[in-house]
Structure 1
Amino acid sequence: MATGLLALLDDISALVKVSAASLDDVPTQVAKTTSKVSGIVIDDTAVTPKYVVGLDPSRELSIIYQIAKKSLINKLILLSPAALILGFFAPWAIPPILMLGGAYLCFEGYEKVHSMFSKSHADAGDDSGDNLEVITPQELEKERIKGAIRTDLILSAEIVAITYATVAEKPLLTQIAVMLAVAVFITIAVYGFVGLIVKADDIGVHMAKDEHHPQVRKIGHGIVKFMPVFLKILSYVGTAAMLWVGAEIIAHGIPFTSHALDNLEHSLADVPALAWLAKVVVSAIGGLILGALIEKIVLLFRKVFANKK
């Protein structure tokens, strides 16, 4: 009896040691994964502020909180378990799902570029003003939140899939701990920074009040003047990041394009910043072309279904 109890205690001790070793590896894996998903994090951070532009300033933080809450729920309850299950039963399904998400990002990025440079958009607004649908601020807010959550779901899926791929060979306990830690850390970091961005002009207005020191007021005025320019730049960065991230995800799912990107990066390895920039530019241009092709296919399907109706 005593021997059996000692054997059981030895087994428990060994299990605790293995678990502790796995948990010790978690911070390293979280740091490694965070660096791998940096492009997607930039995309998420740059894209989100546009969803609160033009809405009631008093509602900005509430809207960001709602998006962040849904993003965290999606990562923890929907995407992470799905990645673990797929990774166990059907690991072959993860790359195609990632590529579909990448295609959606390219499509959405192209739509944004097209809307920036298309004059027909403005002309259509002049001719068909009577046909515009009028919605309340509450309805507009709901639509913006839905759009932000939809885009975030794609980006979150990419983050979770890349996280899983990084720890796929690790023990299950490590996989779960890393995926939970990455989900929480990235969500707080992204939406905390987004909240700071959208409220920066309010902070500037407060700093510019007469009761503050002249130097503080000067900084406040500078923030107020700079934020509209910064938000515009950020929207361009977000669009470019959508194209870059989407195309790179697709490229890594196709051996030929994956090798081509790797070769490009290796050819400029002596100048890491230039290698990174070259890969980003090539990916963004490829994403733009792919997005244009996807838009043509979508329009064709819409015409076919419209004719059937």
Structure 2
Amino acid sequence: MAGGLVALLDDVAALVKLAAASIDDVGAAAARAGAKATGVVVDDTAVTPRYVQGLKPERELPIIKRIAVGSLRNKLLVILPVIMLLSQFLPWLLTPILMLGGTYLAYEGAEKVWEAISGHHEDELPAAVDEAQEDTVVSGAVRTDFILSAEIMVIALNEVADEAFVSRLAILIVVALLITALVYGVVALIVKMDDLGLRLSERDSSTSQTIGRALVKGMPTLLSVLSTVGIAAMLWVGGHILLVGIDELGWHALYDVVHHLEEGVRSVAGLGGLLAWLVNTVASALLGLVVGAFVVAIMHVVPRRRGAAAH
């Protein structure tokens, strides 16, 4: 009896170790998959704060919470089932779908570059939003999030496509939860940073006042830097998706050129890995910019010129 109990406890211990190892594997895979979606995550973080512009301070966090819940619903209830079915039954569709997402990312990045150069900007949200308009604000933010979330999930899936079905499912659920928490946690910090700065600036301590004023003054700079990083990341990630996708579809020339350039600098002592990464990143960003600019021309420049010629 005692021997049987000991054997049972050994089996339980082995199962616990196996479960722990599986959890570690899922966590590590989720981290790798999430890292590949960096460009979209930065873009999502940069875009969302504008949806609470004009709201009363006490309504900012509740609105962000509603958008975060909508984002999680997008990922888990709509996007995840669709891409899991595709990965199981039509895996060959994932590369073209991923390339469509990469093209959209490149277009978004190139469009922002075009807006900066031309001085033309899309209409911003109204300067003030009352509570009656909150549903409209939330629904608009959730629609935008759907596109970004779809890209995040497909990019993440592509990184774990060789895993078993259950492992893929678990990893993508972890990615959805972590990415949503990260994005909207950071957004909440950003939108409340100026409020925190104002409170600190009203304290008696000169140190608190200095920090508070710095936070208030630094908010526009932070948002500007975040926006610039987001644009660069969209071009880089979008271009890299296209570069790898083109190679997987059988057109190897462009990928081979970039790979050859990477190998040419990889032997540099101490800096080879960094230089190879920079070569790939710059090449990917340039490809993203070229493809994005082509789509921008189709979507904006050509129709505008035709309209001017008609008049």
Question: What does 1:1-309 align with in structure 2 at a 5 Å threshold?
Answer: 20=19, 22-119=22-119, 121=120, 137=129, 145-211=138-204, 213-255=205-247, 256=252, 257-269=254-266, 270=268, 271=271, 272-299=273-300
CA–CA distance in structure 2, aligned partners of residues 136 and 206 of structure 1:
22
Q: Which shows bigger deviation, 74-83 or 160-169? A: 160-169
Q: Which amino acid aligns with 2:165?
A: L
Q: Which amino acid aligns with 1:245?
A: V
**Contact preservation (8 Å) 1:68, 1:191:** yes
Q: TM-score, normalised by structure 2?
A: 0.76
**Contact preservation (8 Å) 1:19, 1:173:** no
Q: Secondary structure at the match of 2:104?
A: helix
Q: Compared with structure 1, are the counterparts of its residues 107 and 35 closer, same or farther at alpha carbon in structure 2 (3 Å cutoff)?
A: closer
Sequence identity of aligned pairs in percent? Answer: 44
Q: Secondary structure at the match of 2:64?
A: helix
After TM superposition, give the deviation of residue 142 of structure 1 in Å: 5.8
Q: Deviations over 1:252-307 (max 9, x none)?
A: 11013334444444433343444434433333332222222112333568999xxx
CA–CA distance in structure 2, aligned partners of residues 238 and 197 of structure 1:
15
Q: Which shows bigger deviation, 187-196 or 234-243? A: 234-243
CA–CA distance in structure 1, aligned partners of residues 263 and 151 of structure 2:
25
CA–CA distance in structure 2, aligned partners of residues 201 and 134 of structure 1:
20
After TM superposition, give the deviation of residue 57 of structure 1 in Å: 4.0
After TM superposition, give the deviation of residue 202 of structure 1 in Å: 0.9
After TM superposition, give the deviation of residue 63 of structure 1 in Å: 3.1
**Contact preservation (8 Å) 1:47, 1:238:** no
After TM superposition, give the deviation of residue 110 of structure 1 in Å: 2.2
Q: How many residues align?
A: 283
Q: Which amino acid aligns with 2:49?
A: P
**Contact preservation (8 Å) 2:54, 2:129:** no
Q: TM-score, normalised by structure 1?
A: 0.77
CA–CA distance in structure 1, aligned partners of residues 264 and 50 of structure 2:
37
Q: Which shows bigger deviation, 198-207 or 52-61? A: 52-61
**Contact preservation (8 Å) 2:54, 2:128:** no
**Aligned match of 2:3:** none
Q: Which amino acid aligns with 1:94?
A: L
**Contact preservation (8 Å) 2:94, 2:158:** no
Q: Which amino acid aligns with 1:240?
A: A
**Contact preservation (8 Å) 1:23, 1:177:** no
Q: Which amino acid aligns with 2:104?
A: Y
Q: Compared with structure 1, are the counterparts of its residues 165 and 111 closer, same or farther at alpha carbon in structure 2 (3 Å cutoff)?
A: closer
After TM superposition, give the deviation of residue 90 of structure 1 in Å: 0.3
Q: Compared with structure 1, are the counterparts of its residues 251 and 206 closer, same or farther at alpha carbon in structure 2 (3 Å cutoff)?
A: same
Q: Compared with structure 1, are the counterparts of its residues 273 and 196 closer, same or farther at alpha carbon in structure 2 (3 Å cutoff)?
A: farther
After TM superposition, give the deviation of residue 140 of structure 1 in Å: 7.3
Unaligned runs of 5+ in 2: 1-7, 307-311
CA–CA distance in structure 2, aligned partners of residues 163 and 64 of structure 1:
24
**Contact preservation (8 Å) 2:40, 2:233:** yes
Q: Which amino acid aligns with 1:196?
A: L
After TM superposition, give the deviation of residue 95 of structure 1 in Å: 0.9
Q: Deviations over 1:223-275 (max 9, x none)?
A: 11111111112122222222222222122110133344444444333434444
Q: Compared with structure 1, are the counterparts of its residues 260 and 141 closer, same or farther at alpha carbon in structure 2 (3 Å cutoff)?
A: farther
Q: Secondary structure at the match of 1:168?
A: coil
CA–CA distance in structure 1, aligned partners of residues 47 and 141 of structure 2:
8
